[in-house]
Amino acid sequence: MRSPFREKIVIHSVPQSSTHYKSKPYFRVIFLKEIYLDNSATTKVCPQAAQKALYMMTEVYGNPSSLHTMGYLAQKEVDAAREAIAHSLSAEKEEIVFTSGGTESNNMALFGAAKALHRRGRKIVTTTVEHSSVLAAAQVLEKQGFEVVYLPVDAVGRVSVEQLAKAIDAQTIVVSMMAVNNETGTIQPIETVQKLIDRAKSPALFHVDAVQAFGKLPIKVKKLGVDLLSVSSHKIHGPKGAGALYIRKGVRIVPLHYGGEQEKRIRPGTEAVPLLCAMGEAVRALPNMHEEWQQMQKLNTYLRERLAGMPHVVVNSSEDGLPYILNVSVVGIRSETMLHRLAEKGIYVSSGSACAKGQKSHVLLAMGLPQERIESALRISFSRDTTREELERFCEELENADQTLARSR
């Protein structure tokens, strides 16, 4: 089996005064295996998805809205991708609307639902640890006159069911909560939300940001009582630029864009056919969820055990979270400093959400962590390509950096 990571070339020069190379510099080349541990930011595209994208770009390249044969064939492929995503969520294919990714799906859900239901109430309930695409949308809605309740979280980043119950009332029109936190892996109690909405006799639509959970947790939209649910392609080994929004049959949201018949007029414009079809292929290529969970759990446990022996390392993720993500702090060494040191060794992790562009984590802040842990936080995130040997080398390099880098005061 071909290695899932590339080789990084590191070149060290030897001075020209070297006995055997007086006439010109001598270079010693060292090959380092690149270790990619930033899979919550994006994943490597799987071969099936890449091949499908190429096929759609070079063989079935028609516009699916065209009435000729090439258009029909393209539409057939798009429908097949829609069916694959619907099947993975136990939904109907008519309930899947294609988007450009998780951010657009989240924006469509919040703005679309708020505008559709604004005559029935003005209250929106979400949490302090949502993805920026939800929090930023909520802040805009606040400026438009909506009341937004940002629920706090506990020390592991979880919302309490009691606080949810108190927040949801007859004036609530939208409840938006992520299934899995993208920075810590904390799993939120989304299975309780629809029951609370019903108990409060609320008109609220329930939206779930499932970008980090899709393909990793069993999500059955009907069983959960979800009205709207966002997923993304590039978190499941599909290409960037593709995603979907599940809209339960009978639910109405107001579109953000106008000017085309595509996607039931909810998301008009020519579809990114190669990307969407590749996303469908990535969904079909997903491994057995239970078996992969067990494998990720083993890797997570192993990494926790190795890090436990490092005196300055503190784990920020809860043990009952998604095993694909482990957030840690190397106290005293700023995240950026450690990231650069590891990158020099061909090891790639992150300091939090890629969308935050290096800003301090609002998630860890909401969890009440001390400033020194927030400033030194690292997110290690696995994929099905991650191996124990990679984690072993990561730990070795992390420990070496911990011992040699200057600590902040």
Strands 123-127 and 147-151: parallel
Tokens 């979270």 -> residue = 321
Q: How far apart are CA 339 and CA 355, in angstroms?
A: 16
78 alpha carbon, distance to own chain's centre: 23
The SS3 assignment for 243 reads: strand
Q: Considering all CA atoms of the chain, what is the largest pairwise distance in Å, rounded to the nearest integer?
A: 85
- 256, 225 contact by CB (below 8 A): no
Check the CA dihedral 166-170-171-173 and report its sign.
positive
Radius of gyration of the chain (CA): 23
If DSSP codes are grouped into helix, strand and coil, which group holds residue 408? coil
Q: DSSP code of 3?
A: -
Q: What are φ and ψ of residue 314, in 5° steps?
A: -125, 135
Whose tokens are 């007859």? That residue is: 170
> CA angle 306-309-314, nearest 5°?
90
Selection from 397, 371, 91, 16 nearest residue 247 by Cα: 91
Residue 355 a catalytic site member? yes
Residue 270 CA: distances (Å) to CA of 80, 85, 265: 17, 19, 11
Query: Based on the number of CB atoms within 10 Å of its own CB, is 145 exposed (0-12), middle (13-18) or buried (19 or more)?
Result: exposed
What's at 397, amino acid-wise? E
From the candidates 46, 277, 355, 395, give the one annotated as an active-site residue: 355
- List residues bridging with 176 in a β-sheet: 207
3-state secondary structure of 61: coil
Q: Which sequence positions are flagged as catalytic?
A: 355
